Amino acid sequence: MSILEQSETTTPDDVETERPAEGPVADEPATVLPRVSLPETAAHEESVRVGYSRDDVLNLLGALGAGLGVGALMSVGLGIIPVGWMPIVSYGAFVAIYTVLVYLGNPGPAVRDRFWTVVLWSAGTAVVAALALVIGFTFIRGGNVFAQIFSADSEQTLWERLHFFTQDMGGVGPLAGLDQGGVLHAIVGTLIQISIAVLITVPLGLLTAVFLGEVGGRFARVVRTVVEAMTALPSVVAGLFIYAAIIIAITRDPNGFAASLAITVLMLPIMIRASDVVLRLVPGNLREGALALGGGQWRVVWHVVLPTVRSGLVTAIILATAHGIGETAPVLLTSGVTSNLNFNPFDGPMTSLPLSALEFVRSPQQTMIARGFATAATLLVLVLILFLLARAIGGQEVGKTSERQLERFARRSRVTNHRIQTLPERLARAVARAEARATSRQRRLTPDPALEPASAQEEIR
């Protein structure tokens, strides 16, 4: 037993008893523990504590208050710096004061640790705050348009007040008030374009992901490298490509289908990479088990691998859709701008939500700019819904079966069990029928014995 341990866990009296007794065994060679005259120390309460001490909390709170105070004093009180600078100055003062406070009671490494902890917390907070600012600002600036849906003193009926979602901008002049016009054409355009893009992306993306993950080989490695490069494809380049390949070469006019193709080019790599990642999560023993049971590769993929990661694949699809729905530059180049409703993706310009937001804010009119923000807010709501959906579905663990799946499996195995149980009598019935048929055939011509077992097997199935 080491002395260090003793000093913390036992009292000096215990140590005394551990020492070998002298006298009777003095002449025999014995192992003698080193005698240490232990100084009388007060027993420690605890040697290791996890968490924050009172000092830490007080330092932090004090520094926060002092930082805010310094900022307020310098901006509001003394007027040395503009009020807009107060947050930055306060933050700087907070970090400086906190570091000094920690330095007063702690050694160097601990000071550095606390300092960087505060800095990293700030980085996290800054990013979240920036995102909240972007989203919040869009909603607030778009609020003017949405506010009059709920305004009580409007003469319009509730349905008419929803005009922002039920009308297009056709026939609405640049000076028209916010009680007219809407983005129905853009909503329809977005839905049509994203549907076509999803219809192309999902099968192609899944197929490619399965190819990368399940088939493999040298060619698959080449494709994977290309897909990774494709994720960085600038969106405007995708637009230019479709412009050159479809609009210049074939249609001569912008249309919604070309825009869907451009969105597809940008969604494909996202879809492929996301599915590739979830396919890698499938445990190898599931695959091996299925192969050992005699399944071919196709059956293993279709019946084992894909169902296992179904939720992950759905998440991949939704995330790719959320990215595709907000693409602006390729749509700008390929779909054309219109303020009228257009249901035909193959003919005539078809605006989408991000594109119409862009067009609105480029106008000098304040009402148009307000519409632009409202359009962006609508788009943002769509993206948020898709994103939350993806989170909700993607939360499932890989290879874990839900209640409903278990029920379905149970039902299927009951059916199988019934088939197995009734196999003998069905077999007997089938054989009897085959024999009857054979005898009837025998009367007409000579029997063909090769046919009989096959037909009997057919019957059993």
Partner 1 sequence: MTTLDAPTFTPSYPADQAGLATPQRLRQKLERSDRAFRGIARTGGTIVLAIMIMVGFFLAANGIQAIASVGPVEFLTTAEWSPETGHFGIAALAVGTVLIALVALVVSFPLSVGIALFITEIAPPRLSRALTSVLDLMAAVPSVVFGLWGLAWLQVVIVPFAKWISDWFGWIPIFTVNGVDPNNPLPNDALYTSSTFIAGLVVAMMAIPIMASIMRESFSRAPVGEREGALALGATRWGMIRRVVLPFGQGGVIGATMLGLGRALGETIAIYLIISPVFTINFHILQNGSNSIAAHIALRYGEANEFGLSALMAAGLVLFVGTMLLNSVASTIIALSRSGAESEA
**Residue 276 within binding range of partner 1, rule CB under 8 A:** no
Q: Which of 71, 189, 256, 326 binds partner 1 (CB under 8 A)?
A: 326
Nearest by Cα to 36 from 12, 9, 60? 12
**Residue 380 within binding range of partner 1, rule CB under 8 A:** yes
3-class SS of residue 417: helix
**CA separation for the pair 142, 139 (Å, rounded):** 5
- Give min distance, CB of 193 to partner 1, in A: 14
247: which 2 tokens?
A: 């609009």
Q: Which of 82, 173, 177, 424 binds partner 1 (CB under 8 A)?
A: 82
CB closer to partner 1 out of 271 and 434: 271
**Residue 292 within binding range of partner 1, rule CB under 8 A:** no
Q: How many residues bind partner 1 (CB under 8 A)?
A: 93
* Binders in 131-170 for partner 1, by CB under 8 A: 131, 133-135, 137-138, 141
Buried/exposed code over 218-253 (b: 16+ C-beta within 10 A; e: otherwise): eeeeebbeebeebeeeebeebbbbbbeebbeeeeee
Q: Tell whether the torsion through CA atoms of 329, 335, 338 and 339 is positive or negative.
A: negative
**Residue 340 within binding range of partner 1, rule CB under 8 A:** no
**Residue 374 within binding range of partner 1, rule CB under 8 A:** no
Which long-range contacts link 205-209 to residues 24+ away (Cβ below 8 Å)? 205/267, 205/268, 205/271, 205/272, 205/275, 205/316, 205/320, 206/271, 206/275, 206/313, 208/268, 208/272, 209/271, 209/272, 209/275, 209/276, 209/279
Stretch near partner 1 under the rule CB under 8 A, chosen from 64-72, 91-99, 353-361, 446-454? 353-361
**Residue 116 within binding range of partner 1, rule CB under 8 A:** yes
- Give min distance, CB of 325 to partner 1, in A: 7
Stretch near partner 1 under the rule CB under 8 A, chosen from 95-103, 117-125, 162-170, 436-444? 117-125
Which long-range contacts link 299-308 to residues 24+ away (Cβ below 8 Å)? 301/210, 301/214, 305/210, 305/214, 305/279, 306/210, 308/282, 308/398, 308/399
145 in Cβ contact with 164 (< 8 Å): yes
CB closer to partner 1 out of 351 and 456: 351
**63 to each of 66, 91, 343, how far by Cα in Å?**
5, 10, 61
- Give min distance, CB of 23 to partner 1, in A: 44
Q: Where are the beta strands (DSSP E) in 32-100?
A: none
Q: Which of 23, 24, 124, 173 binds partner 1 (CB under 8 A)?
A: 124
Stretch near partner 1 under the rule CB under 8 A, chosen from 29-37, 179-187, 384-392, 411-419? 384-392
**3 to each of 21, 22, 36, 49, 82, how far by Cα in Å?**
18, 20, 9, 22, 62
Q: Which of 33, 127, 381, 406 binds partner 1 (CB under 8 A)?
A: 127
Q: Which of 309, 325, 350, 368 binds partner 1 (CB under 8 A)?
A: 325
- Give min distance, CB of 435 to partner 1, in A: 34
**Residue 130 within binding range of partner 1, rule CB under 8 A:** yes
**Residue 121 within binding range of partner 1, rule CB under 8 A:** yes
**CA separation for the pair 277, 254 (Å, rounded):** 36
Q: Which of 391, 408, 412, 419 binds partner 1 (CB under 8 A)?
A: 391
* Binders in 14-53 for partner 1, by CB under 8 A: none
CB closer to partner 1 out of 39 and 107: 107
Going residue by residue from 198 to 237, which x/- string records binding to partner 1, judged by CB under 8 A? ------x-xxx-xxx-xx---xx-xx-xxxxxxxxxxxxx
**CA separation for the pair 210, 216 (Å, rounded):** 9
**Residue 128 within binding range of partner 1, rule CB under 8 A:** yes
- Give min distance, CB of 300 to partner 1, in A: 9
CB closer to partner 1 out of 219 and 346: 219
**CA separation for the pair 422, 25 (Å, rounded):** 87
